[in-house]
C-alpha cells in the first residue's frame, strides 16, 4: 500500500499541479491530479490477469487545459462544484435574496458555472497510505455564489478494491452546495461502445426533465419505460441510440444511508463496478456529447464510449422545495461518501 506525490512542472494560477498515485496490495493503481481533483487513471486486473484502465482521460496533463478540449468540454474525471448538474435559469434565492449565476446551455447554469471546482488547483492537505486529502477554499462571490466555502475531498484506496470518496464542506454564510464526481467509465478491455455493458440501478423512479435537461420536481415511475434498470439489463437494450441516457434516478434508499447506487459489468473483461453512496440520487449519463481527440494512447473518445454515475442531491433542488435541501448554513457540515468498488463477475 503506497501513496506517491509527483510534481508535474505545470503551474496554473501560480499553483503547481501535482499527481498523486495510490496503490493497494492487489496492484490496483489510481492516479489523481490536484487540478480539478481529476481521477486520471484507475488500473485494475481483469479476469484474464491483464491490467486495464477503466476511466477515460489523457496521457499528458497539458491536454486537460488545451483549447481543443475545453471547446467541447466533458469534465473528464473531475470533481463538480459548487453545484452539480443544472440550476434553472442560473438563479436561486436564499433567505429572500436572489443570486444570478452564469448562464449557458440554453440559459441554465451547469456544473458550477464558467470556472467551477473542476478547473481549480486544490491544495494537498495530507497523504496517508494509500489516501490523499485535497482542499479547495471557494471565496464568497466566486461564480456569484454567496459565502466562503471550504471543501475537502479524501480519496482512499482499500485492499477490497474500493476507491472511497469522502466529501466535507463548511461555509461562513448560507450558500448552495451540491457536489459530485464526473468519472467516465468503460469496463471493456478495448473500449468502444458501452451498449453491451450490463447495468442495474435500484431506483423505482426517475426525475422528469424539461427540454434542456433541467429537472422539474416531478417523479416518474421507471416501470414500463426504457428507464427501468431495476434488474440487470444491457445499457443499449432499450435506449434510443441517438440519445442514450442522461437521467437522474431516485435511489430506493433513505438519504444518508450508504447503499448501492448502481452496478455495471462487462463480459469480456469480467469486471464489475459497483457504486455505493450516501446521496439520494444518481445521475446516469452515457456520454452522448463525448467528442475528445487524442485521449489515452492517442485514442479518440466518441459518444456512448463511456458511462457516468454522478451521485448527488437532486439537480435544481435549490429551486424545488420538495427535494433534499442543498442550502448549507454556518455551523452545518456537508458530508457525502461515494465508493467505486471493483470486483470480478
pLDDT in tens, 151-170: 999 999 999 999 999 999 99
pLDDT band at 52 (very low <50, low <70, confident <90, very high): very high
CB 146 within 8 A of CB 138: no
Residue 19 has pLDDT above 90, yes or no: yes
Rounded CA-CA distance 277/219 in Å is 20
Cell of 313: 442531491
* Rounded mean pLDDT, 293-297: 96
- % of the chain residues with pLDDT over 70: 100
- Report field, pTM of the whole predicted structure over 0.85: yes
Q: Is 65 left (phi over 0), alpha (psi -120 to 50) or beta?
A: alpha
pLDDT band at 134 (very low <50, low <70, confident <90, very high): very high
Rounded CA-CA distance 119/15 in Å is 12
With 0-12 / 13-18 / 19 or more C-beta atoms within 10 angstroms meaning exposed / middle / buried, residue 291 is middle
SS3 252: coil
Strand order in the sheet with 15-23: 2-12, 15-23, 29-33, 38-45, 51-53
Mean pLDDT of the chain: 97
| Domain of residue 25, residue span | 2-344
Tens-place pLDDT, residues 307-326: 999 999 999 999 999 999 99
- % of the chain residues with pLDDT over 90: 97
- Residue 34: name the closest of 133, 114, 116, 130 by CA: 133
pLDDT band at 240 (very low <50, low <70, confident <90, very high): very high
- The greatest distance separating any two alpha carbons of the chain, rounded to the nearest whole angstrom, comes to 59
With 0-12 / 13-18 / 19 or more C-beta atoms within 10 angstroms meaning exposed / middle / buried, residue 141 is exposed
CB 23 within 8 A of CB 2: yes
pLDDT band at 127 (very low <50, low <70, confident <90, very high): very high
pLDDT band at 344 (very low <50, low <70, confident <90, very high): very high
Tens-place pLDDT, residues 216-225: 999 999 999 9
* Rounded mean pLDDT, 23-48: 97
Res 129: pLDDT = 86
| Residues designated catalytic | 182, 310
The CATH number for 207's domain is 2.70.98.10
* Rounded mean pLDDT, 237-245: 97
pLDDT band at 235 (very low <50, low <70, confident <90, very high): very high
Number of domains comprising the chain? 1
Q: Which residues contact 303 (CB under 8 A, 6 or more apart)?
A: 244, 287, 288, 289, 290, 291
Residue 105 has pLDDT above 90, yes or no: no
Rounded CA-CA distance 216/314 in Å is 10
Residue 2 has pLDDT above 90, yes or no: no
Res 62: pLDDT = 97
Rounded CA-CA distance 275/259 in Å is 8
SS3 297: helix
Rounded CA-CA distance 291/104 in Å is 19
Strands 149-157 and 29-33: unpaired
Rounded CA-CA distance 183/315 in Å is 18
> How many CB atoms are closer than 10 A to CB 237?
12
DSSP 8-class letter at 2: E
Res 1: pLDDT = 79
Res 104: pLDDT = 83
Res 336: pLDDT = 98
Res 278: pLDDT = 98
Amino acid at each position: 500500500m503506497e501513496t506517491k506525490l509527483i510534481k508535474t512542472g505545470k503551474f496554473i494560477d501560480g499553483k503547481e499541479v501535482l499527481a498523486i498515485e495510490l496503490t493497494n496490495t492487489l496492484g490496483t493503481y489510481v492516479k489523481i491530479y490536484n487540478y480539478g481533483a481529476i481521477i486520471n487513471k484507475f488500473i485494475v486486473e481483469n479476469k484474464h490477469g491483464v491490467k486495464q484502465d477503466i476511466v477515460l482521460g489523457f496521457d499528458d496533463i497539458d491536454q486537460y487545459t488545451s483549447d481543443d478540449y475545453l471547446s467541447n468540454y466533458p469534465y473528464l474525471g473531475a470533481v463538480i462544484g459548487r453545484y452539480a448538474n443544472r440550476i434553472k435559469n442560473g438563479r436561486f434565492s436564499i433567505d429572500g435574496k436572489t443570486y444570478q449565476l452564469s448562464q449557458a446551455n440554453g440559459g441554465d447554469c451547469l456544473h458550477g458555472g464558467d470556472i467551477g471546482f473542476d478547473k481549480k488547483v486544490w491544495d494537498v492537505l495530507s497523504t496517508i497510505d494509500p489516501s490523499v486529502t485535497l482542499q479547495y477554499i471557494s471565496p464568497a462571490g466566486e461564480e456569484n455564489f454567496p459565502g466562503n466555502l471550504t471543501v475537502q475531498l479524501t480519496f482512499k484506496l482499500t485492499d477490497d478494491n474500493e476507491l472511497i470518496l469522502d466529501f466535507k464542506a463548511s461555509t461562513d454564510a448560507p450558500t448552495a452546495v451540491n457536489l459530485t464526481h464526473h468519472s467516465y467509465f468503460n469496463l471493456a478491455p478495448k473500449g468502444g461502445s458501452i451498449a453491451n455493458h450490463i447495468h442495474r440501478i435500484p431506483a423505482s423512479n426517475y426525475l422528469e426533465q424539461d427540454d434542456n435537461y433541467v429537472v422539474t420536481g416531478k417523479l416518474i415511475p421507471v416501470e414500463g419505460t426504457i428507464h427501468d434498470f431495476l434488474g440487470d439489463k444491457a445499457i443499449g437494450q432499450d435506449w434510443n441510440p441517438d440519445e442514450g441516457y442522461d437521467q437522474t434516478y431516485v435511489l430506493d434508499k433513505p438519504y444518508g444511508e450508504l447503499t448501492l447506487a448502481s452496478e455495471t459489468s462487462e463480459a469480456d473483461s469480467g469486471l464489475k463496478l459497483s457504486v455505493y453512496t450516501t446521496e439520494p440520487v444518481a445521475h446516469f449519463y452515457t456520454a452522448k456529447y463525448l467528442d475528445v481527440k487524442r485521449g489515452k494512447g492517442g485514442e479518440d473518445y466518441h459518444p456512448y464510449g463511456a458511462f457516468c454515475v454522478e451521485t448527488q442531491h437532486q439537480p435544481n433542488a435549490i429551486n424545488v422545495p420538495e427535494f433534499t435541501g442543498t442550502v448549507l448554513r454556518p455551523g452545518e457540515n456537508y458530508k457525502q461518501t461515494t465508493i467505486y468498488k471493483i470486483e470480478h463477475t
